[in-house]
Amino acid sequence: MSEAKTFQPLLDVENVLPILNKISIFAGLSEDQLYTLFCLIEKVTYGPDEIIFEQGTQPSHIYIVKYGKVKLVASKDGIPFELIAFEQGQCFGESSVIGIQPHAATAIAVEDTELLVLSRNLLLSIYISDIQLFSTLVLNIARDICRRLHSSSEVLLHYVQKSQT
């Protein structure tokens, strides 16, 4: 298990808001809503090969790559399989947070990486403080998850077809 990381508040609104504006789960949000999120999001850094979270652990955050690269690796019967890599502006961990499911894979920093993080508890607090913002976020997360599922289905279909030939 990796050592606990300290999350830092975001102070550079002018550098972070343009990144938030390009992230699919924040699509369609007003400047005020983006600023609300900016006030809730923290940052954390990881070095190469540092574990961000492990397969089977309970989700606590949604992660957005500010810079660097993160890979997701799932193990089955002790054999690791690299599933996907995330780069600047991409988001991960959201399906576990929304689905209240243990992480299906381990997230590992590939290189020096800074992540923007939104805790599950703060996400749920938005439900109370701004139901419209919460609804838009959850809808956008659902859309993102559906896109990934569709992409995964296409890959799976490719391998099924290939195995039958």
Of 107, 42, 98, whose CA–CA distance to 74 is shortest?
107
76 contacts 28 by C-beta, under 8 angstroms: no
Report pLDDT digits (tens) over 124-146. Answer: 899 999 999 999 999 988 888 88
Report pLDDT digits (tens) over 4-62. Answer: 788 887 777 777 777 777 788 888 888 889 888 888 999 999 999 999 999 999 999 99
Domain membership flag for residue 3: no
Domain membership flag for residue 93: yes
pTM: 0.83
Domain membership flag for residue 119: yes
Predicted confidence band of residue 1 (pLDDT cuts 50, 70, 90) = very low
Q: Which domain holds residue 116?
A: 8-163
Domain membership flag for residue 90: yes
Phi, psi for 76 (deg, rounded to 5): -135, 120
Number of structural domains in the chain: 1
* CATH code for the domain of 79: 2.60.120.10
Instruction: Count CB neighbours of 37 within 10 A.
Output: 25
Domain membership flag for residue 1: no
Domain membership flag for residue 16: yes
- Which pLDDT value is given to residue 135? 93
Alpha carbon distances (Å) from 20 to 2, 15, 83, 165:
27, 9, 25, 44
Report pLDDT digits (tens) over 78-87. Answer: 888 888 899 9
Least confident segment among 18-22, 74-78, 90-94, 104-108: 18-22
